[in-house]
Structures are given as C-alpha cells and as structure tokens.
Structure 1
Amino acid sequence: MANSAQKIAYNRSCANSSPVHSNSASLTEIVLSGSNGIPDYNLVLPMLAHLSQQSQSKWFTWIAPTGISKAQLQSFGFNLNNVRIIHPKNVSDISRVFWEALTNNTSSTVIAEAGSLTESDFYTLDTACKNTGCKGLLLRFR
C-alpha cells in the first residue's frame, strides 16, 4: 500500500476533481487500533450508528469478517431495520464483495474491513463510490 504522503496526495486530487454523481461520495479509510489482534470498535461505532440512522431507503452494509453482531450494533443505537451484515467466507473475497455492494446501488453506506489494497484497488473502489453516490468506509486495524 502507498505511504501516507501518497494517500494524502491522492485524497487531495480526488477532492479537486468533479464527482460523477451529484452526491460527492468517496472512499474513506479509517485506521483503528486494537490489542492482541482484536479490533477496538468503540471509537468508530458511534459515528457508524449516526450513518445508519441516515440510511432510510437503502441498506447500511457492513462487510465484517470479524463477526460483529447486530446486538453489539443495537447497543450503540444503530437503525437495525436497514443494517445488513455480510460475513464473507474468505478474507480474499472482501474486496470483491465490497465492490459489488458499492456498485449494486442498494446501499447508502458500505463499510469493509480489508487488509491490504493496492492503489489501483483503492482507485477502483473510490470510483465506484463516486459513480453511485454510495459512501464507502474502509476500516483498517493496526
């Protein structure tokens, strides 16, 4: 994956380009910490709960290999009527499932926990967000 300076430069270039869709949706990468290989969702869950409340006519889709449950989401105030959690069988399927969820135009927000993406993968997913107006959130843990 590209270094931080390249990511910042890429994000600035995307911000200056005109979006294909009227909603200036794009792919946002959020890096979170965890301990002993267990992700700490406490920082991001309130923000995601807010996004789920805004998702009225489309799905709020979370592609989660780690097994987050609807009970956990409910405790943070998620609108569970529109939440869809997808657990891919293989970690290697996450990028494909993420792209499909972004491009099928049934979700207002798609979140994925992905390992490594190439700059080309990031660009492809960002373009999918712009073309459909879907917010894409990429969660990474270190």
Structure 2
Amino acid sequence: MLARQHSQLSEPGLSELIVPAWQETTAELTMPMLAHLSHQSGNRWLTWIGSKLPSKTELDAYGFNQRTLRLMRSKDDAENLWMMWETLNTGTSAFVVAFFDDKNCRIHRQERSHLEQACYSGNARALLIQQPSTS
C-alpha cells in the first residue's frame, strides 16, 4: 500500500456543512480545520468566498497561512455560487470555501452537480457552509 504524502490533496470533491449560524461555536469547529488546510494547499490558494469574511486578527489567531489564503467578498449567496464555480474551475485553488448567509438559499441538485464537476476540472476540494432552511 502506498502512503499518501501529507501535502497532497485528497480526492477532488464537494462537502457540505450545515450550521445554525456563524457563531463562536461554529468558528471553533471550522476555523482550525480551515487553518490547517491553508498550510496544505501547496502552491495553490485556499479561497474563502462570502459576504462576510474573517478579519486578519481572526485569521492570525487561528494560525492561517495568509500567503496561500485568498478572501473574495461577494454581494449575496447567488454570487457565492458563481464565484465558487469559477474559482474551482480555474484550478488555481486547492480548496474553496463559501459561507451562505441566507437561510432561504437553496442549493439545488443541479448546482451541486455543477460545483462537483468544477472540483474535478480544477482538481480541487470545496466546502459549502450554510444554515438550515427555514421552510
């Protein structure tokens, strides 16, 4: 059995995390994981997309590698999807993370499928972080 090198990306694909809202407990769960990934991206980006982005102070507190971190501010959740697809498809990011603020935002099966295809096209991993729907 071949051992996987620590710095290599795992299989491309899309993951999803449902959280009640971006709260302190959410940050305690996700920020260390994302900080770790920022050190595993090699010569590609960890791209964070959202209408609300963490401050440099927050990023420093969790130990992010800011040389490989790219923050992209969006206007809304619809723009998140487009930016996420575009970023994944280009192949310049090893990891793409997007936080969807709107509880009423629905990411449909077809949109997920397009994002997953973009993950494979760009040899990247993606994480959707969203709130549970209210309906």
Please report the TM-score for the alignment, with normalisation by the length of structure 1: 0.76
Partner of 1:132: 122
- Three-state SS of the structure 1 residue aligned to 2:114 is helix
Query: In proportion to residue count, which structure has more helix?
Result: 1
Q: 1:23: how far off?
A: 5.6
- Three-state SS of the structure 2 residue aligned to 1:80 is coil
Q: Give the alignment partner of residue 112 of structure 1, picking from 86, 98, 107.
A: 98
Q: How many residues align?
A: 118
Q: Give the alignment partner of residue 55 of structure 1, picking from 36, 41, 46.
A: 41
1:31 aligns with 2:21: no
Q: 1:41: how far off?
A: 1.8
Hey, what's the Cα distance between the residues in 2 that align with 1:87 and 1:45? 18
Contiguous gaps of at least 5 residues in structure 2? 1-8
Misfit runs of 4+, over 6 Å? none
Counting aligned pairs with the same residue, the percent is 31
Hey, what's the Cα distance between the residues in 2 that align with 1:33 and 1:61? 22
Report if aligned partners of 2:97, 2:127 keep a CA contact under 8 Å in 1: yes
Please report the TM-score for the alignment, with normalisation by the length of structure 2: 0.79
> What does 1:1-142 correspond to in 2, within 5 Å?
24-34=11-21, 38-39=22-23, 40-114=26-100, 115-142=105-132
Report if aligned partners of 2:92, 2:122 keep a CA contact under 8 Å in 1: no
Hey, what's the Cα distance between the residues in 1 that align with 2:41 and 2:58? 18
